[in-house]
Amino acid sequence: MGNLTDFLPFIAMFAVVYFFMIAPQMKRAKQEKKFANELKKGDKVITKSGLHGKIVELNDKDNSCVIETLAGKIKFERSAISMEMSKKIQDKVATR
């Protein structure tokens, strides 16, 4: 019984770390993957580097997309698209 009470603080610390750090990170990764898979042609997006554009082509083979900007067309990985910023711009377009 004494050995269990010695490890109780470590178990409690692991539980706190899991519920406040690991679980939210896993949830966010799942949401980002779902977002990237739901992208479609015509969606206005913003990349994580701040580039604004519209999706003109999706390639499931290498998980990339072609984004049309004012400067031309650029190929990006889907993971380079910012979920938060793109959702904000999509919401603005939907409310007009």
Walk along the chain (96 residues) and give the pLDDT tens digit of each residue: 567 788 888 999 999 999 999 999 999 999 999 998 899 999 999 999 999 999 999 998 999 999 999 999 999 999 999 988 888 887 776 776
Instruction: Give me the pLDDT at residue 53, please.
Output: 94
Domain that holds residue 26: 1-38
Reduce the DSSP state of residue 48 to 3 states and report it: coil
Q: Are residues 45 and 85 in the same domain?
A: yes
Is 49 in the same domain as 92?
Answer: yes
Count the domains in the chain. 2
Same domain (yes/no): 77, 60: yes
Q: Are residues 48 and 95 in the same domain?
A: yes
pTM above the 0.75 mark? no
- For the chain, what is the radius of gyration of the CA atoms? 20
Q: Which amino acid is at 6?
A: D
Buried b (16+ CB within 10 A) or exposed e, 57-89: ebeeeeebbbbeeeeeeeebebeebbbeebeee
- pLDDT of the residue at 18: 93
Same domain for 83 and 95, yes or no, is yes
